[in-house]
Amino acid sequence: MEAALPVARLPPHDPKTPALSVVDMHTGGEPLRIVYAGCPEVAGPTLLAKRRYMRHHLDYVRRRLVFEPRGHRDMYGAVLVPSELPEAHLGVLFLHNEGYSSMCGHAVLALGRFALDFGLVPAPPEGARETQVNIHCPCGLVAAFVACEGGRSCGPVRFHSVPAFVLASDLTVDVPGHGKVVMDIAYGGAFYAFVSAEKLGLDVSSAKTRDLVEAASTVTEAVKAQFKINHPESEDLGFLYGTILTDGKDAFSEEPTTNICVFADEQVDRSPTGSGVTARIALQYHKGLLQLNQTRTFRSSATGSVFTGRAVRESKCGDFKAVVVEVAGQAHYTGAASLTVEDDDPLRDGFLLK
């Protein structure tokens, strides 16, 4: 019989060396690194003020979390912060390779499990099969519903979005290399441009990811140059987050519809994109292609993972007719770590490969 290998142990942590305590998860293949301890205080009276403070004063934390050598160009992060909303169980700031998002659906699904399992919400009553977690995102309060058993999370998570709406329908944009392309812009906690990949000469299900990324990035830059994004309630939310290329199958069907989301600095979402599904449901409802409580399945062309979505009720956002959307998916734990940054580490702020 072979001798068992000894368990490797890291040397004791120097208490003078900063350390971030993190839990890593993924939802539909899209990573999430949750910082639950060790982050310097993020000052500000509101969550949006905290996001501005972190961008201006603590951006090195984001770079250390998501960039190599501790992360990679498609890493995604979440920093837990206090919320000013009394009904919120937690507040969260979302991090990516370019900066800070206003909403992240895959992260909300993961954070729902995390909040229940790590005691950030009251323990559910005995026999409960689902518990609610109120998560304050930069776009607003989002309610996650976590399947549970014996007080612990299990199975799928679903969330109810902030009001989602269509900003521009059948908008014509001059896209370099592709001419005039008709597309839509919709909001699901973040703004996305939606365009059928076929209009760009691609098949979203079979094209190389690099080709899809280049096409989507060209669309994003064209929209930013030619169309002003405004949110009716907050300047902080008025920016185009990315482009979602679809298979064009927007009419209701029992069959899955496929898309890929390219956001921030050409970052590729491995999941079907929770805020993107929210916005796409709002778009389909706006165009009369979907009725309330009709559930659609959305597939990621990057991994094949799926989310479901449905419009649960009508709402308003400013003067826009909107819907609240329910998105559901599976989140999984992948590990936990203490990320240290020694003073003599030349890569203490990380680097981003181009």
Measure the CA–CA gap between 265 and 48, rounded to whole angstroms: 22
What's the start-to-end Cα distance of the chain, in Å? 48
Amino acid found at 143: A
Nearest to 80 by CA among 57, 60, 50: 50
Contact yes or no for 119/287 (Cβ under 8 A): no
Could you give the C-alpha distances from 30 to 5, 79, 103, 106, 207, in angstroms and in order? 33, 17, 14, 7, 20
Known catalytic membership, residue 39: no
Contact yes or no for 202/219 (Cβ under 8 A): no
Measure the CA–CA gap between 29 and 51, rounded to whole angstroms: 26
Contact yes or no for 221/264 (Cβ under 8 A): no
> What is the residue-wise DSSP string for 130-167?
EEEEEEEETTEEEEEEEEEETTEEEEEEEEEPSPBEEE
| Catalytic pick among 104, 137, 148, 261 | 104
Measure the CA–CA gap between 74 and 267, rounded to whole angstroms: 5
Measure the CA–CA gap between 243 and 223, rounded to whole angstroms: 9
Structure tokens that stand for 104 in this block: 């992240």
Positions marked catalytic: 104
